[in-house]
Amino acid sequence: MSSEPLTHSAAPTLELVAAAAGVSRSTVSRVVNGSPNVTPEAVEAVERAIDELGYVPNRAARILASRRTFSIALVIPENTAKFFADPYFASVVQGLAMHLAGTQYTLTLLIAAENDAEKTRRYLQAGNVDGAIILSHHSDDRSYVALAKSIPVVFGGRPMSSEGPNPYYVDVDNVEASREITGRLVAAGRTRIASIAGPLNMAAGLDRLEGWRRALDDAKLTPVRIEHGDFTPASGEAAMRRLLDSGVEFDGVFVASAQMASGALNALRERGMRVPDDVGMVTIDNDYFAQSAQPPLTTIEQPTMEVGATMATVLLRLIDGESVDRVTMMPVRVIERDSA
């Protein structure tokens, strides 16, 4: 008994798609590369043929034809442990990825710890991506700001460096947000208000501290004491211990992130102090840490997924050569709970 050998049909080509759609090869190429110079009828016919034949465009050929990589980089200048522990990053990346899913672009994630910064910059400048989004940057971000001379760059948050071209960035008004949330402590009758502030080499740390100061100025209250952390729970716990050990009396505290606030609560419980009975507490970020705290924390909610999508929108418009506002500020809202 004989049998015919198994054969595999060749991968569909541009020519086969053109024949199935009843158009020229060049028309198929224009549709694949997103050219606007094609009639809607031709686009529909080509897309139908592509679906029926299972045609996959040659990425290398598209890059040569368009002079684009169709790839953008998301750069996180933090260590890997901090990146995966922070729910802010996860939400922003989700917003970015969901927005890019409807485009031709892919997202390349670069977790650039300090010792990898130079390698990251070389990669970005070598033509591997069409643009970059820089998230969670520090006062030494001037090298990333300078990248804008060679590729489109959008920052998540206000860059601190004054060197290089004026940067494009998406942010929230951290000064006003922390001013408003600290005002909740004042409204609750707290008069001796301390702060556990963020790092001073980040714009968010500086701006949130300034907002706390302005809220106290508004109420004609004297700042009690400032301790600093790095936006992690452990640093918030250590900062609260230092605050308690200092001997200063305080009946309210603004903590510059919900992660630090969760650690600060641990330190208060160790000393037998209760929130809000003994100390009122407010913070920023309506993430797992704020929601699951005991008690749940009065906080500022940032639209993190929308921030990710907006950064992607701004970057793609820059890549396409469109005019874009250099600063995009996102709205926030107060989440009232019982911790103040």
Helix H or strand E encompassing 180: helix 174-187
Which of the four pLDDT bands, split at 50, 70 and 90, describes residue 1? very low
Taking CA atoms, 231 is separated from 44, 109, 195, in Å, by 51, 22, 13
| Nearest C-alpha neighbor of 254 from the set 199, 197, 292 | 197
Q: pLDDT exceeding 70 applies to what percent of the chain?
A: 87
Q: Kindly report, residue by residue over 6-57, the tens digit of the pLDDT.
A: 344 456 787 888 999 999 988 887 887 666 778 989 889 988 888 888 776 6
88 vs 303: CA distance, rounded Å: 10
Question: Which tens digit of pLDDT belongs to each residue from 58-73?
Answer: 554 555 455 678 899 9
Q: Are 283 and 256 in contact (CB under 8 A)?
A: yes
pLDDT attached to residue 15: 85
Q: Assess whether 205 and 224 both reside in one domain.
A: yes
- For residue 12, the model assigns a pLDDT of 75
Q: CB atoms < 10 A from the CB of 32, how many?
A: 21
- What is the domain extent for residue 137? 71-172+304-332
| 136 and 199 fall within a common domain | no
Do 54 and 78 fall into the same domain? no
Mean pLDDT of the 121-133 span: 87
- What pLDDT was estimated at residue 114? 55
DSSP-derived pairing of the beta strands 299-301 and 333-335: antiparallel
Identify whether residues 195 and 294 lie together within a single domain: yes
- Average pLDDT score over the chain: 87
- Domain endpoint, select from 23, 51, 66: 66
Mean pLDDT of 282-289: 96
Is 227 in a helix, a strand, or coil?
Answer: strand
Q: What mean pLDDT do residues 202-215 have? A: 96
Q: Is 1 part of a structural domain of the chain?
A: no
Using the 3D structure, point to which of 46, 66, 86 is the last residue of a domain. Answer: 66
Clarify whether residues 254 and 314 are in a common domain: no
Question: Could you tell me if 190 and 112 lie in one domain?
Answer: no
- Give the total number of structural domains in the chain: 3
Least confident of 139-153, 240-254, 321-335: 139-153
Answer yes or no: is 338 within a domain. no
> Which range, 7-11, 97-101, 133-137, 279-283, is most confident?
279-283
Same domain as 178, residue 264: yes
Domain with 198 in it: what CATH number?
3.40.50.2300
Residues 178, 293 within the same domain: yes
Q: How confident is the model over 158-180, as pLDDT tens digits?
A: 888 666 668 899 999 999 999 99
Residues 270 and 283 in one domain: yes
Q: Is 337 part of a structural domain of the chain?
A: no
In this structure, the answer to whether residues 255 and 297 fall within a common structural domain is: yes
Based on the fold, state whether residues 185 and 294 are members of the same structural domain: yes
Domain boundary among the residues 66, 82, 110 is at 66
Quick check: is 35 in a domain? yes
Residue 4 belongs to a domain: no
CATH number for the domain spanning 49: value is 1.10.260.40
Same domain membership, residue 217 and residue 181: yes
In a domain, 258, yes or no: yes
Residue 5 in any domain: the answer is: no
Per-residue pLDDT at 6: 38
